[in-house]
Structures are given as structure tokens and as C-alpha cells.
Structure 1
Amino acid sequence: MKVLSLINNAVTKFLPLWIVVFAIIAYFIPKSFEPLTGWTGFMLALILFLMGLTIPPSSFRYVLKQPKLVFFGVAFKWTVTVLISVGLGFTFLSHSPDLLTGFILAGSVPSATAASLYTFMANGTVLLSITMSVVDTFISPVVTPILLETTVGHLIPIAFLPLIAKMLLIVLLPILLGLVIQLKMSRFVEILQPSVRFFSSTTLILIVLSVVSGSQPLLEDNLSLLPLLIIITMLQILVPMFLGYGMAKVMKFNEADARAILYETGLCNTALAAILAMDYISFLAAVPAVINTILNLSFGALIAIILSNKSVVKEQNSL
């Protein structure tokens, strides 16, 4: 048991490092991971199923208890975060409709599954983070296709209804299934729960291996664009994070809640974006999502470490 615990900690604690390491490995030996490319949708569905298994029922009551906090975080994410992605995309990537669409898609998906982990590490309000993620995920199958059609539908064909169907299949259905099993088989879930983060982290690494190996020829052909993509992706992540945090403080939300909102607005489920891009746009369109995945996990961990050393005063929110 001790060995398993050590492996679990090594994988989850150093996830950003493993993401970078395995992305590099997949880039240099892509053929080794070709069998994974047909399983990316299933793997993401597995992560969201595990999320459904671990969503505390209290998160649904939290929406009623603190609606202003939840609404602010979700609304900010689907407006400001998306607008920043659209602005950066059209400013720097208008020469490539595929990259532009993939970049906007990376900022127009629900919050990352790692957001609640980093909120916990940063001493933020984990229940608020989970609640915002749940609301995000439930509305995304409709909101994401609408945003894509509205912003880039005139540049590249968007398979609107198939995109909605795909998101319902790999996003909403797995979470609902996880919730049902949690309610019906609570004892089984209790036994499984300590390993959920390990399975989620391992599956995310497999998704990165799949996406990077599948897009390797395109990455190689567009190496000259990588510095630009890295810089604007950093802005895509960090600007919404700190705007969300700053606005939360202006609204007089307490520090712990502001930290949860920071991650809600800055970290998107770019593994989902990469899968949707590969299925409905092109492998090239998945490149911005891959870069975002590596950077958002890395920045998320770094900021969590910095914030964890700063005290949190849980003053009453002005609601």
C-alpha cells in the first residue's frame, strides 16, 4: 500500500512535469503511441466519469446558497475568457483559420478538471470551484458550439449538431453516469475515491500522448509558429486568471473564493478542446489546445504553490 501511495503522489503532485516529459517523448517517437489516437474521446469520457463519481452532493446546494459567487465565476469565464481568446486569436492567428479556430476553441470549453485540485492546493474554496465546474460542464455542450459558430463559422465549417452530440456523449453522459453510480453504489465509490486523482492524471497523460503523436507532423511543419503560440497561450491563460481574481476582489468576495474564481476563469479543459478539434476541424487545430494543456497545468501548479504560502482570511462575502 505504501508503494501505491508513493506512485499516486508522484504522478499527481508532479503532473505538469509528466505532461511536458511525455509530450516531448510523443513528439520524437510518435509511432509508438499511434494506437492511442482512436481512444482519446473514451479517455476524456473516463476522466469526466471519475469527476461524476466524486462530485459532492453539497455542490448542488451551493448554487442555491451562494448563487452570486457561482454566477459571477461562470459568467466571467464564458464572456471575458472567451473574448480574450477571440481577441488574441484574430490578432495573431488570422492567417491560419485552423489554428485560429483551435485557439478560440481552447478558450471556449468548460473549466479544467485540474481547477479544483489547484484551488485546494492554493487554499481556495474547493466547493465553489467544483460547483462552478459542474455548472460549466452542464451548459458547455450547447454554449461551446454556439460560440464557435458565432466567432469562426464564417471562416471554417463548424459541424454544429454533431459537435453538440459529441459533447453530450463524452462530457454530459459520463458525468451523469458517475453521479448515478455514486448515489447507488456509495460504498464502492468510497473505496475507489483515493485512487481517482491517480486514474484521472494517468488518463490525461495518455490523452497528451495521443494528441501530440497524432499532430507531430503538423507540429514539425509549423515549428516556426511555436514561439508565437506559446506567448499568446500564456496570455490566454494568465490574463483571465488575474482579471477574474481582481474582479472578485473588487466585488468584495473573500480571498479563498477569489482564488477559486482565478482557476475557474483561467484554466480550461483543453484536453476536450484537442479532441473536438481533431474530430471536427483538423489535427493542426488541436495544436493550440496541446500547448494550452501543458502551460495551464504548469502555471496552475506554480501559482498554487505561491498562493499556498499566503494566508487566507475567510471574511464574510458581501452578498
Structure 2
Amino acid sequence: MAAVEPVREFARRLASPPGRDPSVDTLRGLACLLVVLYHVRGGGPTDGLRLDRGNPWSYLVDSLVYLRMPLFSFLSGYVYALRPLRERWPRFAQGKARRLLVPMLVVGTAFALVRRAAGVADGGEQTPWYLWHVVPVAHFWFLEAVFWVFLLVGLADRFRLLERWTAVVPLIGLAVLADAFVPSPTNVLALRDALFLLPFFLSGVAAHRFGWRTAPRPARAAVVAAALLLALWSQLGLQGVVARVPERHDAVAALLGVTACLSLLLVRRSWRPLAVLGGFSFTVYTCHVFGTSAARLVLERVGASSVTLNVLVGLLAGIAAGVLVELVARRSAWARALVLGGRWPRRGAGGAPRPASSPAS
């Protein structure tokens, strides 16, 4: 019976939980797909499948890079606005540290150890182990960076600085300009990446807090038109017609990310497979690389050279790895705390640990 419990848990996820917006979960699922696909392709010439930039799959990844991490950050802000700071800020900070930094340290360090054992270098050099997470480890930079964003936005909410759209919109513009022009020689503790995420997170907060989905039609039409024009400009850059738009720390890329996220939020469509995947977004993000790397090694061993086969198998393996980790981790109070960022287990009267609560979104 214990062996089928993860299957039952997965079946329960097929039904939309009460109080959740399936269209938002669908967007979270889409963000998961974009992240996994990016790491299947590889973020650099020595990562992933090492595809030529002219390959159609590689071109697709490059086209969607302006939406990938902005969408994750935008949805984090949107979900935060559903349950904003209502407690003392230190308690809020402690909860976010448990939810984000503990899994970063546990899963991220495990990933760094595996990568070190495989002889994979970081940017051409081996980062000393004692600097792991001081210098962000691979994709775990997002957990560290969004932690700082949560703290900053929570503090602003504490002093009621984000209650009017006339204050938030200029702040988003200021964050875009700061990300574009502040020098970024180092990225200690992912602080520079936090500045990259900030405008998208604030946009997500504003989208929920000020009713973006019911905003005046001219405003919505203008944002959608801007997103389409900026997307066209990015495509011209990929084709070499104009200068290529940088992936990060660029005002055009940031505005494209903000307007694209706002446009997607207007769709209000849900698709059950993506909505279910969105429910596993945390572990899919943290653990998908274990699945994508394993799939690539197996396919290389059996001599499967089809790029499309490698992409699709890697995509499925990355998703499966994240889903499986969460289903298994939820069966243990300590695993929920260490891997999922749940509450630390407490001992009951009989000495048995109490179940940890589910991690907050």
C-alpha cells in the first residue's frame, strides 16, 4: 500500500485545489516547460545538448529566453499579492528563508557535489566548495535572488509603499532602469540577479493588486501591442537584422518580459496537464537537471542522435524528476522540510515527529 501512495498523491493533484486559479497554475506549468527546455538545450556551449544556434530547437529556446525567468518571477509576485505580508516582517523573512534558502542549500549543494564529481566546471573554473551559494550555484541563483526580492517587497508593504498603482508603476520603471545601468561585475549572494527579477516581481504584484485583468481595454490593448512589437524586435535581433537584444540587464528585454507576462495573464485559459505541472513547479525547477542530465547520458550511451528525440526525452525526464522528488519527499516530515522548504517537524507527545505543513507558494 505504501508503494502506491505517491500515485494517489499525484491523482489528487489532477483535480484543481479549491481556491486556486487554474489559469495561473497553467502559466506556472508553462514556465516550468521553458526552464526545462532551456537546460535540455544548454545555457552555454558546453552545457546540455550543445546545439548549434541555427538549430530550430535552439532558435526556439533563444526566442523564449525573454519570457522564461521573467514569467517565474512575475508569477511569484502575483502569488505573493494573493497572500501579502500580514505579520511581522522578521517572521515573514524567517518563513521565506525556510521556504527558499533551505532547499537551495540542500538540493543545490547536492547538485554541486554531483557536478564536481562529474568534473563539470563553473564558467571554466572550479568554484571552491566554501564559496558555493556565496557565488550562486547553477540555476539555484533564482531561489537566492527571489529571497532578496521577497524581503524588499515585504518591507515596502510593511510601510504601505505599494498600495497605489501611481507609486508601483514608477517603481517598476525605476527597477528596469537600475537593472539596465547598474554595473554588475560580481553576483555575490545573487544580489545582482535580484535586481534583474525585481521589475517582473513588482509587475506581478501590481497585476493582482490593481486588477490588471479588468483594467480598461485601451490599457490592455496597448500593453499587448507593446509586447508584440518588442517580440518582433527581438526576432529581428536573432535574425541579425538589428543588434541582438541581450537576455538580461537590458531595458528592452525587461520591457518585453513585463509586457509579455501581463499579456499572458489576460488569456485566462487553463490546460489541465500544464496546470497539474504548475502545482509541482518548485521541485521541477530545483530538480529537473538531474533528470535532463541522466536522459542525455543514456541516449548518448545507446547512440540516439536525433535532436528532436533528445529534446523530448530530456524534457519528459526533467519534468518526471521534479514530480517524483516532490511525491517522495512529501512522505517524510524531514524531507518536506529539507527539500520542499516545509515547516520543521515537531515532536508530539509520543515522540513521533508531526507532519510538516505544505510549503507556501
Do these two structures clear the TM 0.5 threshold for a shared fold by scoring above it?
no
Structure with greater helix percent: 1
- Structure showing greater radius of gyration is 2
- Give TM-score scaled by structure 1 length: 0.38
Higher relative contact order (CA 8 A, sep 6+): 1
Q: TM-score, normalised by structure 2?
A: 0.34
